[in-house]
Amino acid sequence: MRGTGGLQVLIFVLGLLAPGTVLAQVDVHASVDATTIGTEESVSFTITIDGSDGSNVQVPQPPEADGLTLLQTIPRTQQSVSIVNGQMSRSFGYSWSYRPTAEGTARIGATTITVGNREYHTQPIQVQVVAQSQRPARSPRVDPFQALRSPFDPPAAEPAPEPDESDLFIRAVPTQRTAWQNEQVVIEYRLFFREGIQLRQSRLTDSWDAEGFWREELDVETRPIPRVTVENGLRYNTIVLKKAAVFPTRAGELTVDPLKIESEAMMPFGSRDPFRSLFAMQSRFSPIELASEKVTITSRPLPQGAPDAFNGAVGSYAMTVNPDKTTLEVGESLQLTVTVTGRGNLATMDAPSLSIPAAFDVYDPDVSTLLNRSGTRLSGSKTFRYILIPRTNGTFEIPPIEFVWFDPDAGRYRSSMSEPFPVVVTGTATSPLSVTATTNGMPVDDFAPAFTGDVSWQSSSSLLLHTRWWAWILLLTPLAAMGGAHFWRRYQDRLVRDPRWARGRRAHPLSRKHLKQAMELLQGGDTKGYFEEVERAVLGFIGNRLDVAEKGLTRPQLDALLAQRDVSAPLRSRLRSLLDLCDRGRFAPASFSPENKEDAFDDASSFIPDLDEELNP
């Protein structure tokens, strides 16, 4: 039965490899197994045809080489079949071995290979030859028992090599190295690894930071399919580990920290030949640390001559303005929706300035942001909803609303302006005093009729109003109401004229609002949203209390700002611990028990009044 089963498997494999099967798109790669060899070693040069079973491939000639001698003219052939996500792919390849003639830089030239009726051309590859004493000896590749093996047996396993810098590494690829201030730069972190290498238990070793930038994470595939590429003559698989959009918040030379990970790498036993590694089943994991290079970006200040309506937006945008109605009554509300869409830093974008007629009461807008993180750039929309309430009737015109931004591709400022639209207000405005008069101006019912009955007289002193307590109440009530209205109006004016004072007044109510929302999210099972709201409550309180843009501050800048305001070191340490707790809750919510999740809420609830007390000694 074992022999029959093996025969069935063999027939199945041969069926997969049989010619005439529909083939995928053909890609041709040339690679070597090492770019640095000793004088007593050999280098294996391989041409791989992905998407072909070899039936329509003409055997190529070995490429000419400088500083290397060809060891055999007839190439070794390899073939592999793999199934990924239900899709079958095939690879076919030819290999030759070369031996160096002297130390120095050797070169394997280009060659041409014909697949079907199409020709493909490979690129030259350079190989560095060094003294053998500078290279550790490699195990011989000759198997003395190979002649006794079945042609279908896998090759004998060789000792597993240790991974080095040429086997796997992380590369940071920014879309550009020079950008305008607040312009979007996308950094993609790609992992390169040789055939047969696998990683497990990968994790970040420290907090990846980008000081001087506002950053937004972009989506990457959770189960990526590796793509094949050739770097410096070596064949690699690549996947995207991380992708982030960064926006420089100031001009100058800014640096993004390296991305560092700890992992365990599995190197296959035996040759680094990508086809022989398919049969190397025995392997072991070794702990490794990988880090990308740091990324330096030069940020240029925005050019002079910005229009008055410019509020710092950089990118590519469009604006729409939509009122929900244009006819309403006095006291009825009108909702004016301003939506900005495009690519750029929508999270920190300020609302466009409005010039609304004085007959309307205008309230602070309700702001909502929708970000699309799945593309190659951060994009989305930001909506500002204003409530306008007319105090009097008439026909009014809402002036055009202008939104100005800087276009980094064109290097100039652009603007979008809405069309003015009329608003008709009907109804009657309420008046505090209403007097009915006759045609000659005398009040109605001003004259009393003649007395016809008995009249009893009393002393006028008992009727004096100043001796009655209720008269004083009637007299002082309007004055108190007018005084209250006066102070309320001054309060509202100061909210408009003094943004710093206004933000300070809103600090406590907004922080309580965010903490309440955080508890609702926690009770609803949204752990990530819960920690985001707790962090928003704390940072929002600090920003409103100190009148700073807290979203653009890094942790060290935030600590330095509080130190300048004489906030004690223990309280600043509590803030750092609280923010670290929120970071862990957002990125690793599963590591918290139900009892420990409320720690952030308790810490924030006690931290905010303690900070307010130190800021008001």
Two tokens, residue 579: 């923010």
Mean pLDDT lowest among 240-254, 333-347, 448-462, 544-558: 448-462
What pLDDT sits at residue 213? 93
Q: How far apart are CA 242 and CA 420, in angstroms?
A: 45
Which H, E and C letters describe 303-356, residue by residue? Answer: CCCCCCCEEEEEEEEEEEEEECCCEEECCCCEEEEEEEEEEECCCCCCCCCCCC
Beta bridge partners of 169: 192
The maximal CA–CA distance of the chain, rounded, in angstroms, is 146
Q: What mean pLDDT do residues 498-513 have?
A: 72
The C-alpha angle with vertex 504 and arms to 499 and 509, in degrees rounded to 5, equals 120
Mean pLDDT lowest among 250-264, 267-281, 552-566, 585-599: 267-281
Q: Beta strand 87-100 with 43-50: parallel, antiparallel or unpaired?
A: antiparallel
How would residue 491 be classed by pLDDT, with cut points 50, 70 and 90?
confident
Length of the chain: 617
C-alpha distance from residue 71 to each of 30, 98, 124, 370, 535 (Å) = 18, 6, 19, 62, 66
Fold classification of 499-615 is Four Helix Bundle (Hemerythrin (Met), subunit A) (1.20.120)
How would residue 577 be classed by pLDDT, with cut points 50, 70 and 90?
confident
Buried b (16+ CB within 10 A) or exposed e, 152-186: eeebebbebbebeeebbbbebebeeeebbbbbbbb
Residues 344 and 371: beta-carbon distance below 8 Å: no
Q: What mean pLDDT do residues 152-169 have?
A: 60
Just give the CATH number of 313-426. Answer: 2.60.40
Helices (H), 376-467: none
Q: How many CB atoms lie within 10 A of CB 564?
A: 9
Residues 42 and 34: beta-carbon distance below 8 Å: no
Give, as one character, the DSSP assignment of residue 170.
E
Between 439 and 81, the higher pLDDT residue: 81
What pLDDT sits at residue 87? 62
How would residue 3 be classed by pLDDT, with cut points 50, 70 and 90?
very low
| H/E stretch holding 49 | strand 43-50
Q: How far apart are CA 159 and CA 154, in angstroms?
A: 15
| H/E stretch holding 383 | strand 379-390
Fold classification of 168-300 is Immunoglobulin-like (2.60.40)
What pLDDT sits at residue 388? 92
What pLDDT sits at residue 505? 67
What pLDDT sits at residue 173? 93
Highest mean pLDDT among 279-283, 361-365, 452-456, 593-597: 361-365
How many alpha carbons fall within 13 Å on the CB side of residue 323? Answer: 21
Q: What share of the chain is helix, strand, coil (3-state, %, to 5)?
A: 25, 35, 40
Pick the CATH number of 19-138 from 3.40.1830.10, 2.60.40.10, 3.40.50.720, 3.40.47.10: 2.60.40.10
pTM: 0.51
What pLDDT sits at residue 457? 63
Amino acid present at 404: V
Q: Which residues contact 119 (CB under 8 A, 6 or more apart)?
A: 112, 113
Residues 181 and 299: beta-carbon distance below 8 Å: yes
Instruction: Give the start-to-end residue ranges of the domains of the chain.
Output: 19-138, 168-300, 313-426, 499-615
What pLDDT sits at residue 386? 94
pLDDT of 104 strictly over 50: yes
**SS3 for 559?**
helix
Beta bridge partners of 384: 338, 367
Share of the chain above pLDDT 70, in %: 77
Query: Any idea of the CA torsion for 346, 350, 352, 356, to the nearest 10 degrees?
Result: 140
Q: Which residues contact 15 (CB under 8 A, 6 or more apart)?
A: none
How would residue 496 be classed by pLDDT, with cut points 50, 70 and 90?
low
What pLDDT sits at residue 54? 66
Domains 168-300 and 313-426 fall in the same CATH topology: yes
Q: Is 403 exposed, middle or buried (0-12, 13-18, 19+ CB in 10 A)?
A: buried
DSSP 105-157: EEEE---EEEETTEEEEPPPEEEEEE-GGGSPPPPP---TTGGGS-TTSPPPP
In this structure, what are the phi and psi dihedrals at residue 497, rounded to the nearest 5 degrees? Answer: -80, -30
> Which residue do the tokens 């490794």 mark?
288
How would residue 38 be classed by pLDDT, with cut points 50, 70 and 90?
confident
How would residue 83 be classed by pLDDT, with cut points 50, 70 and 90?
low
Q: What mean pLDDT do residues 318-346 have?
A: 93
**SS3 for 24?**
coil
Amino acid present at 245: A
